[in-house]
Chain A
Amino acid sequence: MAKLNMVKALNLALLQEMERDEDVLILGEDVGVDGGVFRVTEDLHRKFGSKRVIDSPLAEAAIIGAGVGMALYGLKPVCEIQFSGFAFQCFHQIENHVARYRMRSQGRFHVPMVIRMPYGGGVRALEHHSESEEQFYAHIPGLKMVIPSAPRNARALLVSAIRDPDPVIFFEHKGLYHAAKEDVPDEIETLPIGRAQVVREGRDLTLIAYGAMVRLAREAADTLAEEDGAECEVIDLLTVAPLDRDTLVASVQKTGRAVIVHEAPRSFGPGAEIATSIMDGAFLSLEAPIARVTSWDVPFPGFAREKGNVPDVARVLSAARATLEF
């Protein structure tokens, strides 16, 4: 057991899986000698060498395309795209090949690969370095979309992603990399992909979040308990797709109210799918319209203006109170 931040926790997952399975490789820009732009792959090159920790040129489509070729015959590449905003250079590889190979080859080939991407705003970066675009991947049949919220679940989910027989897009929020340390056990842990967690129990309102938004939901729940006497249930999705509808529905059947918090822009975002899933399963339990707290429908603004764009606790509180008072 060691207290680790998310960077170190992810590094531990990679290290242990590479020790366990020599088919696990790392591929990306500056992941090797340099150790990665956020240091997630630090020291792995020293330990495993250039054969398994591979510095690629700046060629995102080639990274992902080569990753598919590696995976077709059983290697397990963990590809890093330096920032999720760069992924459009390889988006068609993801959409055309990564997601579809199993279907297109009718199960004869499959792509056991992980694509890690740092994402998210609130870190004073700029356009292309701050977006939250999980909805694109969540929308593509054949992909799993995983977003951890803390060091321990990040480590366990990355291990699960590497062992998954299907491709996993793995988003890591830049704001969480160094945000907190947490006890992470030395022995390998996994968490099931496709399963959400109830991280705080409550009876009055369900707050649904993932990634960096989980902290906001928890803080808002604390404040609402203290100032309003309202007990919120907080759900950390952990996996955006496939969506754990059962956990969402069970919670709202109990609370009757739901607020969804995500960093992606509002329209056609994950909140719409989450809200519809709740309505499908818990319509007669609903006491108020389902609310969404999201970024606005704008391209990501520069750091000087990002505070007004990415959701904050005040906006979560305001939406929660309106829902409770409806």
Chain B
Amino acid sequence: MAQKTAIFQKSAPAAGIDPKLARALYADMVLIRRFEEKAAEGYALGKIGGFLHLYIGEEAVAVGATSAMRPDDYAIAAYREHGHCLAKGSDPKRVMAELYGRIDGLSKGKGGSMHLFDKSVNFLGGHAIVGAHLPLATGAGFSIKYRGGDQVVACYFGDGAVPEGEFHEAMNLAALWKLPVIFICENNRYAMGTSLERALAETEIWKFGRAYNMPSEAVDGMDVLAIRDVIGQAVARARVDGTPSLIEARTYRFRGHSMRDPAGAVYRTKEEVEREKLRDPIALFRDRALKAGWLSEDDLRSIEKDVADRVDEAVAFADASPEPPIEELLTDIFKES
């Protein structure tokens, strides 16, 4: 069984990277970053209610993983899921409208930030209860196997889900029944304000895969190519015979847990945050793409401009969309007869 120790390669293999792919990876990461910066503004302006959990700093995980999969593969995530939804291909306009609680949102404005769903891109939703969506991923994996398909399910969750019982129930089930689920732990080292060391007896999360006889490894969650590579291998295993994997992506959120603690400054030091920002996945990839000659400064600037326009368009769209009418309150509880 391929179980590696958690020693990162200096940088991920660049084989097969061409300008087209580099452009897509960069554009997707920048889109998520700009989108969320605008979402934070919208929240500050009172346009967005409820909660808002930003993915800023972790973009490489969703983008790298999604790039290693096919559009007909599934993704399911926790509540920090704007990035996964956008990476999967959802329309930023409809995602922003959902955050704004408007009728043109992905869930008619009734789901909000933590409950984005988009069946058209096989995004099975954001889930607010920590750890609770992992068994759903195994069920989706079961459906694929039952129907004889070769798709896989990417199941994203944070380090906070690992001490939950359902992490273990779901991992066991997926391994026992050989279900094509890739468990992607986005280890940003803090479950809200509780650090990994204060929550887990085993802080090398990838090692939990061993207990379930599952290929597992850790990967640098700030290196989009490394993630793409490791997830690509996991996808290949899953497609062949349904072998699930546990991948621990070591990442960091530059913002707080939610807008409640925008800087996340109580439980971690400023020095730590600043040090981690030196590993900014977007800056690292930008640098690499330039050095490798995949993209020029002009290319990068044109991508950035294009993304900024799309995000502005999303904000304008969300702002213009009406609130759901009061009659919507009573719909979609049961099938309308």
Contacts and interface: CB of A to CB of B under 8 A. Distances in A.
Nearest to A108: B119
Contacts, number: 127
A62 B169 contact: yes
Contacts of A93: 132, 135
Contacts of A68: 135-136, 139
Nearest to B139: A69
Contact of B170 (A65, A74, A142, A144): A65
Given A51-B146, A57-B172, A72 B140 contact: yes
B132 A108 contact: no
Contacts of B134: 65
Nearest to B164: A61
A73 B124 CA distance: 10
B252 interface: no
B139 A102 contact: no
Interface string B161-181: 000011001101100100000
Nearest to A99: B333
Nearest to A110: B335
B325 to A, nearest CB: 13
A61 B176 CA distance: 16
Interface residues of A, number: 39
A103 B110 CA distance: 9
Given A65-B170, A104-B107, A142-B333, A70 B124 contact: no
Nearest to A167: B334
B115 interface: yes
A133 interface: no
A191 to B, nearest CB: 16
Given A69-B135, A106-B108, A108-B117, A61 B166 contact: yes
A62 B138 contact: yes
A279 interface: no
Contact of B135 (A66, A74, A110, A165): A66
Interface residues of B, number: 37
A106 B110 contact: yes
Interface in A147-183: 165-166
A183 B107 CA distance: 48
B206 interface: no
B168 to A, nearest CB: 8
B129 A65 contact: no
A70 B142 contact: yes
Contact of A69 (B111, B140, B332): B140
A92 interface: yes
Contacts of B335: 102, 110, 165-166
A74 B173 CA distance: 20
Residue from B107, B165, B169, B333 having most chain A Cβ neighbours under 10 A: B169
A63 to B, nearest CB: 8
Interface of B: 107-108, 110-111, 115, 117, 119, 124-125, 127, 129, 132-143, 146-147, 165-166, 169-170, 172-173, 176, 331-335
Given A61-B166, A71-B139, A74-B143, 8 more contacts: A65-B166, A66-B135, A72-B143, A77-B139, A103-B332, A104-B110, A106-B110, A141-B333
16 contacts: A51-B146, A62-B170, A62-B172, A69-B138, A69-B141, A70-B139, A71-B139, A72-B124, A75-B143, A96-B132, A105-B107, A105-B119, A105-B125, A110-B335, A165-B335, A166-B334
